[in-house]
């Protein structure tokens, strides 16, 4: 088990107890999960992510993170190991970039975990290569990069920690289509090749359909859905509390069903949809 929440509540003011999260019971495996964490703005998604990473501590209840039991009394010293196992990439990469050049920025995490300069450099170069940052950018200030490049460097900085679980808050927001695909393909490879558990906070239902295996839906600080992608999209049109539209692939399939009589069978990306359409037309 990677992360387990047991009866977790969270609030910022212990006197008023305005709950940001309430009655959270949740298990996340240490490897091979690809989870979409969704919900309206203010539903508690980012707070939940920061609890997973121990940036925040539970107000009530406890969280077991790789066999470290964490509650409101846990000290920063006790959290050192946890932060290495669970990496968090913030929504705005500028929050995580601060060094004078790209390579130094990515080296910071392994050096912070007692790696030598040489070891940290090797890890940083490997991480930058994984996210597609070329060597000619290593000596450039991260603040001179494009939005997509900044996002990649921020991800590389967390990958350099070699986490078992990687959490990303809106990693594709504000990026063009090509940059979005590059980022998501990096995460997909990390999940498939290294078995890293990916937790993706997003409002993009098409990304959820294409990449996620499991969906956790938050509403007003409570988990109202936690199950497979297939079950979620089977229910999405039936439950009023789900404010999301259907993925584009579903909409196209429904139109094709009306126009040419093709059976509606859920397809979660355009490659699957195209294969299904070709199969139908060549019968």
Q: Which of 244, 257, 252 lies closest to 273 in space, CA to CA?
A: 252
Which residue carries 């959490």 as its tokens? 167
Domains, the chain: 3-240 (3.40.50.300), 247-283 (no CATH)
Which residue carries 């993170």 as its tokens? 65
Query: Kind and range of the H or E element at 27?
Result: strand 21-28
Q: Which two tokens stand for residue 135?
A: 């060597």
Query: Kind and range of the H or E element at 165?
Result: strand 165-169
3-state DSSP call for residue 136? helix
Output the pLDDT for position 240: 52
Enumerate the β-bridge partners of residue 222. 219
Query: Kind and range of the H or E element at 247?
Result: none
Q: Which two tokens stand for residue 68?
A: 């470290």
β pairing state of 3-10 and 60-65: antiparallel
Task: Compute CA distances 105 → 54, 112, 117, 216, 245, whole Å.
Answer: 22, 11, 13, 32, 39
**87 with 50: CB under 8 angstroms?**
no
Would you tell me how many other CB atoms lie within 10 Å of the CB of residue 120? Answer: 22
Output the pLDDT for position 173: 85
3-state DSSP call for residue 200? strand
Q: Which of 112, 54, 115 lies closest to 88 in space, CA to CA?
A: 54
CA distance 204 to 158: 23
Per-residue pLDDT of the chain (283 residues), as tens digits, is 899 999 999 999 888 889 999 999 999 999 999 999 999 999 999 999 999 999 999 999 999 999 999 999 998 888 888 888 999 998 887 788 989 999 999 999 999 888 999 999 999 999 999 899 999 999 999 999 998 899 999 999 999 999 999 999 999 888 888 888 989 999 999 999 999 999 999 999 999 999 999 999 999 999 999 999 999 988 776 655 566 678 999 999 989 989 898 988 889 999 999 999 998 888 7
Which residues have CB under 8 Å from 61's CB, separation 6+?
5, 6, 7, 8, 9, 24, 71
Output the pLDDT for position 80: 84
Enumerate the β-bridge partners of residue 268. none
- Report the residue count for the chain: 283
Which residue carries 């209840």 as its tokens? 61
Q: ∠222-269-191 over CA atoms, to 5°?
A: 65
CA distance 28 to 52: 10
Would you tell me how many other CB atoms lie within 10 Å of the CB of residue 46? Answer: 21
């Amino acid at each position: 088990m990677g992360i387990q929440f047991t009866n977790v509540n969270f609030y910022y003011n212990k006197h008023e107890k305005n709950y940001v999260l309430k009655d959270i019971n949740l298990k996340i495996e240490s490897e091979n999960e690809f989870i979409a964490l969704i919900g309206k703005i203010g539903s508690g998604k980012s707070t939940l992510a920061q609890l997973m990473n121990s940036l925040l501590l539970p107000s009530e209840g406890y969280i077991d993170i790789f066999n470290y039991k964490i509650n409101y009394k846990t000290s920063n010293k006790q959290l050192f190991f946890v932060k290495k196992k669970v990496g968090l990439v913030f929504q705005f990469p500028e929050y995580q970039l601060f060094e004078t050049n790209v390579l130094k920025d990515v080296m910071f995490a392994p050096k912070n975990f007692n790696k030598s300069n040489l070891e940290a450099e090797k890890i940083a170069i490997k991480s930058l290569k994984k996210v597609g940052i070329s060597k000619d950018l290593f000596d450039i200030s991260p603040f001179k990069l494009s939005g997509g490049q900044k996002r990649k460097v921020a991800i590389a900085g967390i990958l350099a920690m070699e986490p078992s679980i990687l959490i990303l808050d809106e990693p594709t927001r504000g990026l063009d289509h090509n940059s979005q695909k590059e980022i998501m393909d990096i995460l997909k490879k990390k999940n498939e090749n290294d078995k890293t558990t990916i937790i993706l906070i997003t409002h993009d239902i098409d990304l959820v359909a294409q990449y996620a295996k499991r969906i956790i839906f938050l509403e007003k600080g409570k988990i109202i859905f936690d199950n497979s992608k297939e079950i979620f999209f089977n229910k999405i049109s039936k439950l009023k509390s789900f404010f999301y539209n259907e993925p584009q692939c579903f909409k196209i399939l429904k139109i094709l069903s009306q126009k040419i009589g093709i059976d509606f069978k859920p397809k979660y990306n355009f490659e699957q949809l195209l294969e299904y359409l070709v199969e139908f037309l060549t019968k």
